[in-house]
Amino acid sequence: VKWIEVNTYEEMSRIGAEIFVKQLMNKPNSVLGLATGGTPVGLYEILVQQNKEGNISFKDVVTFNLDEYVGLSQQSKASYWTYMHENLFNHVDIEEEHIHIPNGIAEDLIIECKEYEQAIESAGGIDLQLLGIGVNGHIGFNEPGTSFNSLTHVVELTESTRTENAIYFEEGEEVSTHALTMGIQSIMNAKELVLLAFGERKLDAMKKLQEGVIDEQFPASQLITHPNITIIYGGTK
């Protein structure tokens, strides 16, 4: 595990973005795994900038997002589809058909999960996967107790996750009770992982990760067994 401690959110974003820029320079048709949430916003800003300046192109890039809420249309403001378009896709030269986000309104969610997993495989697997971490060690929507062998699957959201995420939903819009998420194994299958964590809120999770005890009650702990993972963290002292 490559641990990189940083002092600021900007530094974390810059170092994380450098890994993605290098990846795209070395392999313009990379398959990227992407995350939502507050943490990667700064990294995406840098990628947009780098694309504008002509240093990287997304023309041949294929992306797979970690997760999506069940029951939200793409137009919903709370959907991860909207998040990704607002924070990255609308501002870079990516082809819409190269973008993959689990479809939370698929008629058959089980089939959707299977097909998502197959799509990752057909694309040749994920070259570089971006990750954030929940305060309880969740990765994607894989909450404590999720099997390390899990592939893309449907999850029931915990009450605490629903409460925490309620602010992103519009008034009158019901907070999803379920979500689709890549599993721990789907994430571990990526050739390289980059985990970002910043702030006091993540302090306990980062401590636990550093202790190195591998336990399904702390989903992120499996990541440290990955042969090529960089963890960029800070603001946690």
Q: What residues act catalytically?
A: 67, 136, 138, 143
The smaller minimum CB distance to ligand F6R, of residues 8 and 55, is found at 8
Q: Minimum distance between the CB of residue 194 and ligand F6R, rounded to whole angstroms? A: 12
Site for ligand F6R in 59-78 (CB under 6 A): 66-67
| DSSP structural state of residue 6 | E
138 in contact with ligand F6R (CB under 6 A) = yes
The smaller minimum CB distance to ligand F6R, of residues 132 and 183, is found at 132
Residue 114: its H or E element: helix 109-122
Sign, CA dihedral 100-88-44-211, equals negative
* DSSP state letters, 73-101: -TTSTTSHHHHHHHHTGGGS---GGGEE-
How far apart (Å, rounded) are the C-alpha atoms in residues 167 and 61?
A: 32
Please report, for the chain, how many H helices and E strands are present, in that order. 7, 10
- Pair of tokens at residue 55: 């240093």
3 state DSSP class of 130? strand
Site string for ligand F6R, 174-213 (x = CB under 6 A): ----------------------------------------
Q: Minimum distance between the CB of residue 84 and ligand F6R, rounded to whole angstroms? A: 9
Pick one of 13, 30, 36, 79: the residue that binds ligand F6R (CB under 6 A).
Answer: 36
Pick one of 39, 63, 82, 230: the residue that binds ligand F6R (CB under 6 A).
Answer: 39
How far apart (Å, rounded) are the C-alpha atoms in residues 87 and 35?
A: 11
Q: Minimum distance between the CB of residue 138 and ligand F6R, rounded to whole angstroms? A: 5
Q: Minimum distance between the CB of residue 164 and ligand F6R, rounded to whole angstroms? A: 8
- Residue ranges that bind ligand F6R, judged by CB under 6 A: 35-39, 66-67, 132-134, 138-140
